[in-house]
C-alpha cells in the first residue's frame, strides 16, 4: 500500500511517524517533507503548493491514499484534482476548504445556520472599517484577515488607535498580501479557548481528544500571533458535559450546514472554540489537522491511524470503532528560530536531538529542518521543532519536555516557557492533571451520527424532489 503525505511541517512528521506504525505496513512518501519525515518516508522534491507536480506523481505512482496536511493546497483544490483522477484523498475539496480559506465565508455559514459565534462585521474598504472602529464603544475588538495567513492574521485590539493601525497594515500596506484584502471585525469573546478536532466523511463524525494551543509568541499570551508555540492534551476543563454541548450546538449543525450548502467534506474539521458563560462559540474553522495540535494527538492516539483515514476517504467512517487514547498528559513545546514570527534566521546547525529523545517518553517532531549535503541538520523555518513528552500528570510532562528542549542546540533558539503552566496551576495534585474520565459511550456517538445521517438523507431527498 502506497500513502503520500503532503506537507513539510511538524504536523506532517507526526502523521508520517504514526502511519509508519500501522499494521498495514504502508510504503510512505512525503512531499516535500523535512529531515524528520525522511526517517520514516521517502521525501519527494515536490512542493505542497505544486498541484501539477503532485497530480503528475499521483497519476504515475497510483498511491492508495493521499493525506493532505496543509491548508494552502486544500484551498487551491488539490483534493478535487486528485479525486478527478480516481485517487483516494483524505482532505476536503476547495468548496469545503473555504471554511478556512475565507473568514467572511465562514461567518456567513455560521450565521445562516445559527451556529453560535461572535458578532461581526465584514469590510472590503479600509476607510469603512476604520470609521466603524472609531465609533466602537466596546473593547477589545478582534480584527481578522479574511484569507490564509499561517495563523498570523488575527489582531486583538484594545482601542481604536491600535485597531486602525491593524487595518492600515492589512488593507493598505498589504502586510499579509491578498489575505488582508478583506477583513472581519468581531466582538472579543472572553473565556477558555479550546480546540476540538473531528474526522468526518460528511455523514459520520469521529471526535478526537481535546487539545489546547498557545498561539501568541510570548509567555503569558503576549506578542503577535503565530502558527502555534506549544500544546497540551487532554483539556480537563472540557468536561463530557461541555463536549456534549459542542457536539449538539456546533459539530452536528456544522455537518448539517455543509450538507445543505452542497459541500462534500471528507477530512478533518478543526473547530477553534471559546467556552463562554453562555456556552461554546466558534472562533474559527480549520480544515486539516492543526500544528502543533496534531503532534499531541498522534502521541496520545493508541489506535492505528491509517484505517481511520482510509475509512473517511472512502465514506465508510461509520464502520470504524471508537479510537483508543493514552490517558497520560502530552506537552508539546515549539523550538522556534530567532525572528519568528517575522523574518527568521535559517541555515544554523542543530545539535542535541538524539540527546533530547533520550528523555523519558519524548519524541521530537521536525518542522523547519533540512539536511545539508554533508549530512548536517540545519534550521530552515520559523518553527524548527516541536518537543513532545508524555507524563502521568502535567507537571511530569512539562518537566520532561523542557528538559528535552534544553538538550537541543542551535543559534537563536527560543520557546515559550509557560506551555501548560496554567493547567499545572489548576491541578489539585500531581495526579489530578490527567483525570480518569468515563469512556465516551459508543451509543451516544451512534445516536449523534444517526441524527446526522437522517439529516443528510432528508437533504438529498429534498434536492431530488426539487425542493
- Predicted pLDDT of residue 465: 64
**DSSP reduced 3-state for 463:** helix
Measured between alpha carbons, how far is 464 from 467 in angstroms, rounded to an integer? 8
Q: What angle do CA 119, 271, 184 make, to 5 degrees?
A: 35
Inter-residue contact 50 to 38 (CB < 8 Å): no
Please name the helix (run of DSSP H) or strand (run of DSSP E) that holds residue 363, with its range, or none: strand 362-366
Phi and psi torsions of 39, nearest 5°: -75, -20
DSSP 179: G
Residue 442 has pLDDT above 90, yes or no: no
Inter-residue contact 217 to 339 (CB < 8 Å): no
CA dihedral 48, 50, 55, 60 (to 10 degrees): -90
Measured between alpha carbons, how far is 334 from 384 in angstroms, rounded to an integer? 7
Q: What is the pLDDT of residues 429-440, one digit of tens each?
A: 444 444 445 455
Measured between alpha carbons, how far is 360 from 103 in angstroms, rounded to an integer? 41
pTM of the model: 0.89
Q: Determine the straight-line distance between the first and last CA of the chain, rounded to whole angstroms.
A: 43
Q: Which residues pair with 66 in a beta bridge?
A: 4, 89
Between 257-266, 348-357, 359-368, the lowest mean confidence (pLDDT) is in 257-266
Of 213, 422, 432, 399, give the one whose Cα is nearest residue 327.
Answer: 432
Average model confidence (pLDDT) across the chain? 92
- Domains of the chain, first to last: 2-90 (3.40.50.20), 119-187 (3.30.1490.20), 192-433 (3.30.470.20)
Residue 33 has pLDDT above 90, yes or no: yes
Phi and psi torsions of 198, nearest 5°: -135, 135
Cβ partners under 8 Å of residue 62, min gap 6: 2, 87
| Block residue for cell numbers 496534531 | 294
Mean pLDDT calculated for residue range 106-122 = 95
Q: What angle do CA 81, 83, 86 make, to 5 degrees?
A: 120
pLDDT category, 236, cuts 50, 70, 90? confident
- Predicted pLDDT of residue 194: 80
Measured between alpha carbons, how far is 82 from 65 in angstroms, rounded to an integer? 10
Locate 367 and state its grid cell.
518542522
Mean pLDDT calculated for residue range 35-52 = 98
Locate 267 and state its grid cell.
477530512
Q: What is the pLDDT of residues 332-341, one digit of tens each?
A: 999 999 999 9
Q: What is the pLDDT of residues 3-20, one digit of tens each?
A: 999 999 999 999 999 999
- Whole-number CA gyration radius for the chain: 21
Cβ partners under 8 Å of residue 155, min gap 6: 142, 143, 144, 162, 163, 166, 225
Residue 460 has pLDDT above 70, yes or no: no
Cβ partners under 8 Å of residue 405, min gap 6: 333, 335, 356, 387, 415
Residue 456 has pLDDT above 90, yes or no: no
Mean pLDDT calculated for residue range 296-318 = 97
- Predicted pLDDT of residue 429: 45
**DSSP per-residue codes, 166-229:** HHIIIIIS-TTGGGGSSEEEEEPPPSEEEEEEEEE-SS-EEEPPPBEE--EEETTTEEEE-S-S
Residue 444 has pLDDT above 90, yes or no: no
Please name the helix (run of DSSP H) or strand (run of DSSP E) that holds residue 57, with its range, or none: helix 51-61
Measured between alpha carbons, how far is 9 from 157 in angstroms, rounded to an integer? 30
Inter-residue contact 436 to 236 (CB < 8 Å): no
Q: What percent of the chain has pLDDT over 90?
A: 82
SS3 string of 409-436?
ECCCCECCCCCCHHHHHHCCCHHHHCCC
Residue 30 has pLDDT above 60, yes or no: yes
Amino acid at each position: 500500500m502506497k500513502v503520500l503525505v503532503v506537507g513539510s511541517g511538524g504536523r506532517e512528521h507526526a502523521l508520517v511517524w504514526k502511519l509508519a506504525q500501522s499494521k498495514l505496513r504502508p510504503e510512505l512518501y512525503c512531499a516535500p517533507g523535512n529531515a524528520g519525515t525522511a526517517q520514516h518516508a521517502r521525501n519527494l522534491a515536490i512542493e505542497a503548493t505544486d498541484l501539477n507536480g503532485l497530480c503528475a506523481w499521483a497519476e504515475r505512482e497510483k498511491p492508495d491514499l493521499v493525506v493532505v496536511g496543509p491548508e494552502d493546497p486544500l484551498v487551491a483544490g488539490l483534493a478535487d484534482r486528485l479525486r478527478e483522477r480516481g485517487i483516494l484523498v483524505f482532505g476536503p475539496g476547495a468548496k469545503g476548504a473555504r471554511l478556512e480559506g475565507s473568514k467572511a465565508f465562514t461567518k456567513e455559514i455560521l450565521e445562516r445556520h445559527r451556529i453560535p459565534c461572535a458578532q461581526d462585521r465584514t469590510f472590503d474598504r479600509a476607510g469603512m472599517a476604520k470609521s466603524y472602529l472609531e465609533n466602537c464603544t466596546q473593547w477589545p475588538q478582534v480584527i481578522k484577515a479574511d484569507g490564509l495567513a499561517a495563523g498570523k492574521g488575527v489582531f486583538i485590539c484594545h482601542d481604536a488607535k491600535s485597531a486602525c493601525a491593524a487595518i492600515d497594515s492589512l488593507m493598505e500596506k498589504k502586510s499579509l498580501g491578498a489575505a488582508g484584502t478583506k477583513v472581519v471585525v468581531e466582538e472579543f469573546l472572553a473565556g477558555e479557548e479550546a480546540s476540538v478536532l473531528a474526522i468526518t466523511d460528511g455523514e459520520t463524525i469521529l471526535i478526537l481528544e481535546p487539545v489546547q494551543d498557545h498561539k501568541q509568541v510570548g509567555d503569558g499570551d503576549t506578542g503577535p500571533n503565530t502558527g502555534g508555540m506549544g500544546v497540551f492534551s487532554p483539556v480537563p476543563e472540557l468536561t463530557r458535559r461541555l463536549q456534549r454541548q459542542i457536539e449538539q450546538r456546533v459539530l452536528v449543525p456544522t455537518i448539517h450546514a455543509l450538507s445543505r450548502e452542497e459541500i462534500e467534506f471528507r477530512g478533518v474539521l478543526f473547530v477553534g472554540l471559546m467556552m463562554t458563560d453562555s456556552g461554546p462559540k466558534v472562533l474559527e474553522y480549520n480544515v486539516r489537522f492543526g500544528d502543533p495540535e496534531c503532534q499531541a494527538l498522534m502521541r496520545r492516539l493508541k489506535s492505528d491511524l491509517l484505517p481511520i483515514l482510509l475509512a473517511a476517504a472512502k465514506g465508510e467512517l461509520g464502520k470504524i470503532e471508537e479510537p483508543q487514547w493514552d490517558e497520560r498528559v502530552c506537552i508539546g513545546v515549539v523550538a522556534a528560530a530567532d525572528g519568528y514570527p517575522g523574518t527568521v534566521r535559517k541555515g544554523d546547525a542543530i545539535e542535541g536531538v538524539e540527546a533530547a529523545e533520550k528523555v523519558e517518553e519524548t519524541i521530537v517532531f521536525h518542522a523547519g529542518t533540512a539536511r545539508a549535503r554533508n549530512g548536517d541538520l540545519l534550521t530552515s523555518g520559523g518553527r524548527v521543532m516541536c518537543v513532545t513528552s508524555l507524563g502521568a500528570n502535567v507537571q511530569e510532562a512539562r518537566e520532561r519536555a523542557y528538559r528535552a528542549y534544553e538538550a537541543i542546540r542551535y543559534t537563536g533558539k527560543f520557546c515559550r516557557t509557560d506551555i501548560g503552566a496554567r493547567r499545572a496551576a489548576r491541578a489539585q495534585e500531581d495526579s489530578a492533571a490527567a483525570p480518569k474520565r468515563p469512556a465516551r459511550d459508543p451509543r451516544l456517538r451512534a445516536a449523534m451520527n444517526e441524527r446526522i445521517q437522517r439529516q443528510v438523507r432528508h437533504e438529498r431527498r429534498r434536492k431530488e424532489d426539487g425542493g
